[in-house]
Amino acid sequence: MDTKSLEYYHKLVEEKNFSKVAEFFEVSQPTITLAIKRLENEYQTKFFLRDRSHKELILTKDGK
């Protein structure tokens, strides 16, 4: 685990928007996505549910 991924995660919990988080940290959106996926793989859980039809990001129980 690296601290930058945790920073991305924390900001994503606040913003619930990958693009806004990427803009805030001045990185690409895929950078944020990959960091979150690495954390989810490390902890063997999902932190967010991505509802693409409603463009909504929902925090899971484990994500809280």
Nearest to 9 by CA among 40, 45, 30: 40
30-58 pLDDT tens trace: 999 999 999 999 999 999 988 777 678 89
Query: What is residue 28's predicted lDDT score, i.e. its pLDDT?
Result: 97
pTM for the full model? 0.86
pLDDT for the residue 35: 96
Do residues 46 and 37 touch, judged by C-beta distance below 8 A?
no
Distance of alpha carbon 12 from its chain centroid, rounded?
Answer: 5
Contacts of 58-62 spanning 24+ positions with Cβ under 8 A: 59/13, 59/16
Beta carbons of 32 and 40 less than 8 angstroms apart: no
Q: Please write the tens of the pLDDT for every residue from 6-39.
A: 999 999 999 999 999 999 999 999 999 999 999 9
